[in-house]
């Protein structure tokens, strides 16, 4: 499951405006974290960005994105370019599914 709406609803009591706000915050966080991952020059910066996005994703129920971030966080530096691609794809899929769910 890319996005668990029930998970999000437990925290928002089904408040559509709050869900939309949290989704917007996740998008902003993803933009910042992916940018930080793309420019990370050391392991601490890399892990911090991946870990931050992992937590934000899991918090709203975007579990596949969270799992991609976990794999990125654990990746060796040689795998960082591919990990960024995987996280970006997972983010795109999550945002598409979340937008669809929130529009319903």
Total structural domains within the chain: 1
State the residue range of the domain holding 28.
5-103
Mean pLDDT, residues 74-87: 97
CATH of the domain at 13: 1.20.120.160
Model pTM score: 0.93
Compute, in degrees rounded to 10, the torsion defined by CA atoms 59, 91, 45, 81. 150
**Residue pLDDT, tens place only, 33-72:** 999 999 999 999 999 999 999 999 999 999 999 999 999 9
Q: How many separate helices (H) and strands (E) can be counted in the chain?
A: 5, 0
Mean pLDDT, residues 64-92: 97
- Residue 99 pLDDT: 86
Write out the H or E segment, with its range, that includes residue 31.
helix 16-39
Q: What is the rounded distance in angstroms from the CA atom of residue 67 to the CA atom of residue 91? A: 11
């Amino acid at each position: 499951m890319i996005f668990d709406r029930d998970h999000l609803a437990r925290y928002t009591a089904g408040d559509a405006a709050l869900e939309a706000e949290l989704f917007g915050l996740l998008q902003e966080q993803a933009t910042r974290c992916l940018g930080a991952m793309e420019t990370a020059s050391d392991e601490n910066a890399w892990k911090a960005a991946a870990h931050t996005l992992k937590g934000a994703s899991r918090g709203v129920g975007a579990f596949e994105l969270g799992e991609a971030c976990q794999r990125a966080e654990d990746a060796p530096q040689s795998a960082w370019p591919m990990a960024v691609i995987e996280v970006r794809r997972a983010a795109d899929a999550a945002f598409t599914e979340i937008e669809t769910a929130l529009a319903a």
